[in-house]
């Protein structure tokens, strides 16, 4: 068995599916003592007892950013007697970036651009008034940032009926995404977009226009409103917490990747 046989394959260009894929029921025993980082072939490689770790696709688990490699090493060092991939979200995203995103950067950008055509932030309600106000308060500043930063103006709609967005605005988002050259950063953006339902939230957070907790709350305005009326659903709340943990891991990957 190779180092990463228990990680799900990441040979598709959707990093969030790879990041959240089901794990094998029997966890492998920890087979190494030390996890570290070494510079090899101009990149920073994760090492386990001095041996290069590999992705599920059998590529060296190595990145351009040393801080990102050190974050992976910390996940591996923090394992107990068994290795649990569900506690290693940064490694899972990097696996996905190297195996699934790097060879398909254009496809991943195309997928993210599709979000720009039907982003969560476009679709509003007029009532109840308190929910409408919450949507406006959370989402309007993000749209203002997108307009000021990227020159993109989007059309808002009431309800869920699809509204076609201006081609110039969508093209502006494509240009912003094409500027992301790091597979790890692009994978992280895809994870944040998929989990939030909004490429605009992901871009604004990646640029530092809003914090991670603020971004996550903006993506869940409707759910949080419903909870304020009907009370918290335990299973839904726990599921959201797990997804938030993946969002925060993706935020960390993006930051450490150096984009």
Q: What is the pTM of this model?
A: 0.88
pLDDT at residue 161, as a whole number: 87
What phi and psi values does residue 202 have, to the nearest 5 degrees? -60, -45
**What distance in Å separates the CA atoms of residue 97 and residue 158, rounded to the nearest whole number?**
36
pLDDT at residue 23, as a whole number: 44
Closest by Cα among 68, 76, 65, 66 to 3: 76
**What distance in Å separates the CA atoms of residue 247 and residue 93, rounded to the nearest whole number?**
11
pLDDT at residue 9, as a whole number: 61
Closest by Cα among 56, 100, 53, 57 to 73: 53
CA angle 180, 73, 91 (to 5 degrees): 50
pLDDT at residue 233, as a whole number: 84
pLDDT at residue 6, as a whole number: 55
**Under 8 Å between Cβ of 59 and 32:** no
pLDDT at residue 21, as a whole number: 54
End-to-end, the C-alpha distance of the chain in Å comes to 34
**What distance in Å separates the CA atoms of residue 206 and residue 251, rounded to the nearest whole number?**
7
For residue range 183-237, list pLDDT tens digits in order.
999 999 999 999 999 999 999 999 999 999 999 999 999 999 998 888 888 888 8
Q: Is 211 left (phi over 0), alpha (psi -120 to 50) or beta?
A: beta
> To which H or E segment does residue 75 belong?
helix 66-77
**Under 8 Å between Cβ of 215 and 198:** no
pLDDT at residue 1, as a whole number: 39
What phi and psi values does residue 122 have, to the nearest 5 degrees? -80, -25
Q: Residue 4, SS3?
A: coil
Low-confidence ranges of the chain (pLDDT < 50): 1-2, 22-24
Closest by Cα among 64, 71, 56 to 40: 64
What is the set of domains in the chain, with CATH numbers?
15-103 (3.30.2180.10), 104-257 (1.10.3580.10)
Closest by Cα among 179, 172, 167, 175 to 151: 172
């Amino acid at each position: 068995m190779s180092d990463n046989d228990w990680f799900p394959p990441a040979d598709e260009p959707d990093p969030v599916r790879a990041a959240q894929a089901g794990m094998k029921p029997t966890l492998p025993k920890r087979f190494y003592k030390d996890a570290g980082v070494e510079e090899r072939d101009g990149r920073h490689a994760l090492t386990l007892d001095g041996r290069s770790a590999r992705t599920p696709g059998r590529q060296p688990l190595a990145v351009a950013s040393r801080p990102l490699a050190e974050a992976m090493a910390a996940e591996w060092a923090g394992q107990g007697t068994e290795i649990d991939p569900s506690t290693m979200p940064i490694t899972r995203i990097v696996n996905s970036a190297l195996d699934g995103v790097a060879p398909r950067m254009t496809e991943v950008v195309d997928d993210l651009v599709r979000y720009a055509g039907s982003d969560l932030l476009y679709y509003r309600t007029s009532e109840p008034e308190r929910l409408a106000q919450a949507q406006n308060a959370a989402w309007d500043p993000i749209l203002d940032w997108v307009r000021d930063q990227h020159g993109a103006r989007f059309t808002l709609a009431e309800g869920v009926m699809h509204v076609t967005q201006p081609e110039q605005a969508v093209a502006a988002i494509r240009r912003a995404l094409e500027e992301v050259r790091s597979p790890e950063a692009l994978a992280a953006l895809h994870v944040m977009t998929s989990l939030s339902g909004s490429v605009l939230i992901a871009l604004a957070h990646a640029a530092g226009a809003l914090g991670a907790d603020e971004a996550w709350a903006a993506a869940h305005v409707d759910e949080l409103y419903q909870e304020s009326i009907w009370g918290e659903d335990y299973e839904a709340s726990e599921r959201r917490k797990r997804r938030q943990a993946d969002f925060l891991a993706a935020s960390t990957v993006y930051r450490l990747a150096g984009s």
